[in-house]
Amino acid sequence: MYIDHNQNLSEVLKDYKKAVEASLDQLLPPENVMPNKLHEAMRYSVFAGGKRIRPIITLLCCKLFSGNLEDALPVASAFELIHTYSLVHDDLPAMDNDDYRRGKLTNHKVYGEAVAILAGDALLTKAFEILSRVPKTTSIKADVANLIIETAAGAAGNLSMIGGQVMDIMTEEIAGREKNISELILFEIHKRKTAALIAAAAKAGAFVAKASIKDVNLIEDFGVALGLLFQMSDDLLDHTATREELGKTPGKDGAKNKLTFLSLFGPETARRKIDEFQQKTLLLLEPFGDRANLLKKLTSYIATRSN
Amino acid sequence: MYIDHNQNLSEVLKDYKKAVEASLDQLLPPENVMPNKLHEAMRYSVFAGGKRIRPIITLLCCKLFSGNLEDALPVASAFELIHTYSLVHDDLPAMDNDDYRRGKLTNHKVYGEAVAILAGDALLTKAFEILSRVPKTTSIKADVANLIIETAAGAAGNLSMIGGQVMDIMTEEIAGREKNISELILFEIHKRKTAALIAAAAKAGAFVAKASIKDVNLIEDFGVALGLLFQMSDDLLDHTATREELGKTPGKDGAKNKLTFLSLFGPETARRKIDEFQQKTLLLLEPFGDRANLLKKLTSYIATRSN
């Protein structure tokens, strides 16, 4: 990850993913430590695949402001743990009741519901433990670590990710209402459930690099837009992708008559809206010029991805 | 809470409880903010009663070292939120499957499993958000806030509280083995599941008061002992208390043939062991002399409590 990759996004994604996974492996408790089953369950979901988009965004935003990528790694990893915990809990029978995730059985299908709930809890807790320790393990100062923890907790909390999930599971209640209201609500759910954590991961990278408040705010706006774009393309993929590409049962959102970007607009309009939103997102990177080339490429990759 | 209560424990408990509950009310999101149902669920369990033992321990340990109790209040409250989240998740059908807690319906019986899981997640996340913000809301320095977060996350995490809960739900597997092994395992479960968070709450109070490393370590040892004592008397109460005193179905541990302090020793031996352990716990406060009078009284109160 120390080579300068200014042009080739796929090389960067590959290298960063590898660095993040090595960091996660080092930060997570070994499986042979008691209680083994909990530690196995934590590692099972963290290493069940995934593109590591959130930690990669942290690293790219740190790199944008010439920050130290070694310092950013544990911070980036903490965001992946928060993301993974949210997936483990979302998949539970009481929530989305999913049997597969990324082509593998979901955590509770392998370890049972009790351990899956606790493994999710432990991943969230571990994320904050890691962030609290960065002043000991990196050159990040204590006040910056606190800002990062506040940002992560805010993005994962009751007004953001968890709040969005609650709104998501309650969408049936509003499904019958008119389209304009539904679009507003859907936007609000996506912003909370997906975009807030992606924006926080981006901000955290800027914090590590000691970016100015102005730059942090610009990066936050970009992160929110990128997060919305990610969720839009995710909804579309649920409709168009095969089971193999998706790693989970495709079309499940539609089958549950869930309010999604796709159920609201249909595939053609959804595709057009994604393309338009991609352009808006790219505009938010203009203040950074060529330095943001990799983030621009990541934006296009997210808008057009097929898995 | 600003009067000097050196002698009367019950007055102090009453005043501190009131201060903690006012702080919790101020720190938690209002119910009329979206998503209302989540915020109602969070507040429901936090304000469903409880003796506020953990935050009171934080305040008493802060007071022991002449720290600022106003500064300690949000820290103390964060520990109560972590404790409450653990109760909400422990009560779930996939775990202990309890319908009542503190004389009221459990969270999932009122709000459903999905919201209960998410309300627990949100309480845990809110605790870390509160702790990350104390450098902004109190005179606590950023490095001390980091230490407190690390301590809380360690005590709540995979090697402590969550690890203890996993071991607890797996005790059936070892129930048939011989008594000596069971006693060791039970001690280990209690240490992780209960004592670690109580010790962390105690340590956090000492951190707020800028106690020396030596004093912090002494307080940690006391906190672990107090936590074990608390769990021992809790197990005994499950056997001897009435439903009204307990606020939940008594004898449920026994009915489930669960490994508890009581099932292992029977009520008479358990009572004797509690009395012995109370003396050991009190000895750990000797280095602080009369300054620890309130903590000594709290120790005796915990050892002999009837609810």
Q: How confident is the model at residue B11 (pLDDT cuts 50, 70, 90)?
A: very high
Question: Is A150 in contact with B132 (Cβ distance < 8 A)?
Answer: yes
Name chain A contacts of B29, Cβ cutoff 8 Å: 158-159
pLDDT at position A156: 98
- C-alpha to C-alpha distance for A121 and A162, rounded to whole angstroms: 13
**What is the pLDDT at residue A261?**
85
User: What pLDDT is stored for residue B263 in this prediction?
Assistant: 83
What are the chain A neighbours of B129 within 8 Å (beta carbons)? 149-150, 153-154, 157
Residue A157 Ramachandran class (φ > 0 left, ψ -120 to 50 alpha, else beta): beta
Higher pLDDT, A105 or B103: A105
Sign of the alpha-carbon torsion through B1, B4, B10, B12: positive
User: What is the chain A residue with the closest CA to B128?
Assistant: A153
CATH of the domain at A176: 1.10.600.10
Q: Residue A29: list chain B partners with CB under 8 A.
A: 158-159
The two three-digit tokens of residue A67, written as one number: 């920050």
A1: in domain: no
- For residue A169, the model assigns a pLDDT of 87
pLDDT of residue A1: 47
Is A4 inside any structural domain?
A: no
Position B4 in a domain? no
For residue A281, pLDDT beyond 70: yes
Question: Nearest-CA distance from B95 to chain A in Å?
Answer: 5
pLDDT of residue A259: 77
Residue A126: give the domain boundaries.
Answer: 9-304
Distance CA B29, CA B17 (A): 20
**Distance of residue B107 Cα from the nearest chain A Cα, in angstroms:** 14
Element (H, E) at A207: helix A196-208
Per residue in B269-304, pLDDT (tens digit) is 999 999 999 999 999 999 999 999 999 999 999 999
| pLDDT tens by residue, B104-142 | 999 999 999 999 999 999 999 999 999 999 999 999 999
Confidence of residue B3 (pLDDT cuts 50, 70, 90): very low
Q: Is the pLDDT of residue A293 over 80?
A: yes
Give the Cα separation of A109 and A100 in Å (integer): 9
Q: Once rounded to an integer, what is the mean pLDDT over residues A179-202?
A: 91
Within a domain: B176 = yes
SS3 sequence of A93-118: CCCCCCCEECCEECHHHHHCHHHHHH
Percent of chain A clearing pLDDT 70 (strictly above)? 89
Residues facing residue B100 across a β-bridge: B105
Count of structural domains, chain B: 1
- Cβ contact, residue pair A135, B124, below 8 Å: no
Mean pLDDT of A239-257: 62
In chain A, residues with a C-beta closer than 8 Å to the C-beta of B142 are 141-143, 145-146
Considering the domain boundaries, does residue A3 fall inside one? no
Beta carbons of B162 and A120 less than 8 Å apart:
no
The pLDDT, as a whole number, for residue A222 is 98
Q: What is the pLDDT of residues B31-73, one digit of tens each?
A: 999 999 999 999 999 999 999 999 999 999 999 999 999 999 9
In a domain, residue B68? The reply is yes
In degrees and rounded to multiples of 5, residue B246 shows phi and psi of: -90, -35
Q: What is the pLDDT of residues B225-249, one digit of tens each?
A: 999 999 999 988 877 766 566 666 6
Select the residue from A31, A141, A162 to test the B interface by mutation, using most B Cβ atoms within 10 A. Answer: A162
B3 Cα to chain A: minimum distance (Å): 33
Q: Is the pLDDT of residue A3 over 50?
A: no
Q: Looking at beta carbons, which residues of chain B come within 8 Å of A169?
A: 114-115
For residues A272-295, give the mean pLDDT.
97
Chain-chain contact of A158 with B92 (C-beta, under 8 angstroms): no
In a domain, residue A2? The reply is no
Tell whether the model's pLDDT for residue B168 goes beyond 80.
Answer: yes
Q: Is residue B1 part of a domain?
A: no
Look at residue A5 and tell me whether its pLDDT is greater than 70: no
